Copies of this chain bind each other. A is one copy, B any other.
Amino acid sequence: MTDSLGIAVIGAGYWGPNLARNLHASADWRLDVICDLDPDRAAALAARFGGARPETDVGAVLADPRIDAVAIATPARTHASLACAALEAGKHVLVEKPLADSGAHAESMIEAAAANRLVLMADHTYCYTPAVLKIRELIAEGALGDILFLDSVRINLGLIQPDVDVFWDLAPHDLSVIDFVLPDGLRPESVSAIGADPLGAGRACLGYLTLPLGGGAVAHVHVNWLSPTKVRQMIIGGTRRTLVWDDLNPQQRLSVYDRGVDLELQTLDGVERAEATVSYRLGDTWSPALPEREAIAVMVGEFAASIREGRAARTDGAAGVRVLRVLEAATASAADGGAPVAVRIPEPVS
């Protein structure tokens, strides 16, 4: 094992303790500092992890040469300035989702990371669950073939948030997962969003996102705070196989169906072609065993690995930007009655 990396957690509120606990437990990391504007909160959290010292001054953290990286778990509106300062100070940066409060701010963070040749990682935790890691692997190895559609449903009786609508509250989970499993990431041609506020709560409490993906493929997301039943399900249809991820069924979270429609393309006119060559497969179903691993632990391991290997993290700043750009387009579309809005996703650098 190489030496562990020094890290500071900035923000000791809701998510910071989860990060701190997993960083403390990881052999990759040495949790040196818990930083929070509230000295009591910083001290209480630091006390739980031997070796970590509390801090209230971010400047002192960034000036500490033993700190290799920071994990930012503060309110979203502060992410960009904190991250850019850390990157300027030579620290690698992990940021709680959403990466920033706007796509523009997120892009400034990417630029700072690139300029300083440092890792900027978005903590899209869900992507590091065993189920999503397996989906990504299956798609990458071609088990599903070309992706035809993704349909994601995330509904339950949820807390109506005071500051964000249901799209910004729930859809980041679906979008970051779709971004993670698609080989080229989330690159819709446009976004159509229709939200509804039937209770008059002042913001959308349920909504639908439709994302044409090019080549006739489409992604769709249904998010809803008003459903009495809880559903967490994604269907991913491909030319070879189709996958269903039912996150509320611990006994069979993933099902891969060797079942589908085959369409042989021929040089005939449209009608004959379709009539002549549609065929149906009704093959076996397969449910891969999944390991039991905590997603945050895998995520902090990926952060360390990307730093050591000098490569982008699997959920890098660009992934964070893609999710934000889709959410921004959704807000614009919803305000325009669902009219499709183009999304400006930066081209992959490679």
Contact = CB atoms under 8 A, between A and B. Distances in A.
Interface of A: 146, 148-149, 151, 155, 157, 160, 162, 190, 192, 194, 196-203, 205-206, 208, 210, 212, 215-218, 220, 222, 224-230, 235, 237, 239, 242, 244, 251-252, 255, 257-261, 263, 265, 270-271, 273-275, 278, 280, 282-289, 337-340
Contacts of A258: 289
Nearest to A290: B282
Contact of A157 (B148, B155, B224, B261): B261
11 contacts: A157-B280, A162-B274, A192-B194, A196-B218, A202-B273, A205-B261, A206-B218, A208-B208, A226-B261, A229-B235, A230-B251
Contact of A208 (B220, B226, B251): B220
A199 B280 contact: no
A350 to B, nearest CB: 25
A225 B280 CA distance: 11
Contacts of A222: 151, 220, 222
- Identical copies of this chain, number: 4
A57 to B, nearest CB: 31
Contacts of A192: 192, 194, 337-338
Contact of A274 (B202, B210, B220, B280): B202
A261 to B, nearest CB: 6
B226 A242 contact: yes
Contacts of A263: 160, 199-201
Closest A-B pairs by Cβ, 8 of them: A228-B257, A148-B198, A285-B287, A196-B218, A198-B216, A228-B259, A228-B242, A202-B270
Given A160-B261, A205-B261, 17 more contacts: A146-B198, A148-B199, A149-B198, A151-B227, A157-B261, A194-B212, A196-B212, A201-B263, A202-B271, A208-B208, A228-B260, A229-B244, A230-B251, A259-B289, A285-B286, A339-B339, A339-B340
A242 to B, nearest CB: 4
Contacts of A283: 289
B288 A284 contact: yes
Nearest to A288: B284
A157 B230 CA distance: 24
Nearest to A286: B286
B196 A216 contact: yes
A284 B289 contact: yes
Contacts of A151: 222, 224, 227
Contact of A228 (B202, B220, B244, B337): B244
A135 to B, nearest CB: 15
A227 B255 CA distance: 12
A278 B227 contact: no
A210 B208 contact: yes
